[in-house]
Amino acid sequence: MHKDVSSALWYGGGNVLWHCESERLTSLVKDLPGVSSTAIALAGLADRDTALRGSERTMLSAMRGERRRTFSSGRYCVRAAQHCLGLSDDAIGRAGRVPIWPAGTVGSISHCSDLAVAGLSCSLAGMGVDIERSERITPKLHGKIFTEGERADLEGLPSAAAAVTFSAKEAGYKAIFPLSNQYIGFQEAEIIHHWTEQSFTIRYLGSHAPNRRLEGGVGYWRQSHEHVMTLFLLD
């Protein structure tokens, strides 16, 4: 076990375990009702080569600069989630840029300019996590990213709401892609927010039938002063 994993802050929300590297990240912790055997880990970006296992070290050797930090920090978060669930700290391979999770598990990894997050579950059929800086999505991007209904929903809301909606799309895509193996455009997934509950669902507007499974999932979000984080879960 990586020494920093054992010294981090731990929170339990029902049967969900959260690993937070520092106190400032605890504002992103959220209870996930009805979810079991699932762990989520958050950490700052840093050089975390010692957290890598097996083939991950080989993958890192081909990377340069900031990509080394984002990759190793994401895998550090995977190690923390594995530890939470009592799983062996096996290397997580890739097919292209998509992680290959061990049999019986699903997971997701994300990073922004200063944080990384990973989620891992032994009970879900699909899981997507995403983290963004709160001010990332500027108004000039709204027409490209958001449907007409989403733009109407965002009208009059703080700018961070746009980051939440963008992040929700990313989390949904990460959850469904391993099941459908089909790209989803931004305009094909419409986020239906339940703002007061900090939750959302997804309406699929495309034509690829397997992606309609998105409509049976549920998403959650949290916001801190500088970040938004979303989770999308498929049973």
What pLDDT does 46 receive? 96
Number of domains comprising the chain = 2
Q: Is the same domain home to 148 and 207? A: yes
Domain assignment of residue 221, given as a range:
131-234
Q: Is the same domain home to 117 and 142? A: no
Q: Is the same domain home to 120 and 141? A: no
Q: Is the same domain home to 96 and 17? A: yes
What pLDDT does 96 receive? 85
Tokens of 60: 């890192």
Q: Is the same domain home to 7 and 81? A: yes
Tokens of 228: 């938004």
What pLDDT does 7 receive? 52
Angle made by CA atoms 18, 127, 71, in degrees to the nearest 5? 70
Long-range contacts of residues 20-24, Cβ cutoff 8 Å, at least 24 apart: 24/224
What pLDDT does 15 receive? 72
**The last residue of a domain, from among 99, 124, 149:** 124
Cα 217 to its chain centre, rounded Å, is: 14
What pLDDT does 12 receive? 62
Q: Is the same domain home to 84 and 135? A: no
Q: Is the same domain home to 116 and 138? A: no
Q: Is the same domain home to 103 and 20? A: yes
Q: Is the same domain home to 10 and 94? A: yes
Q: Is the same domain home to 152 and 118? A: no
Q: Is the same domain home to 155 and 202? A: yes
Per-residue pLDDT for the chain (235 aa), expressed as one digit of tens each?
454 555 567 666 557 899 999 999 999 998 888 899 999 999 999 999 999 999 999 999 999 999 999 999 999 999 999 999 999 999 999 998 899 999 999 999 999 999 999 999 999 999 999 999 999 999 999 999 999 999 999 999 999 999 999 999 999 999 999 999 999 999 999 999 999 999 999 999 999 999 999 999 999 999 998 999 999 999 9
**The last residue of a domain, from among 84, 100, 124:** 124
Q: Is the same domain home to 19 and 106? A: yes
Sign of the CA dihedral with 55 first, then 176, 67, and 9 last: negative
What pLDDT does 44 receive? 97
The reported pTM is 0.94
Q: Are 193 and 209 in contact (CB under 8 A)?
A: no
What pLDDT does 13 receive? 52
Q: The domain that contains 72 carries what CATH number?
A: 3.90.470.20
**The last residue of a domain, from among 82, 107, 124:** 124
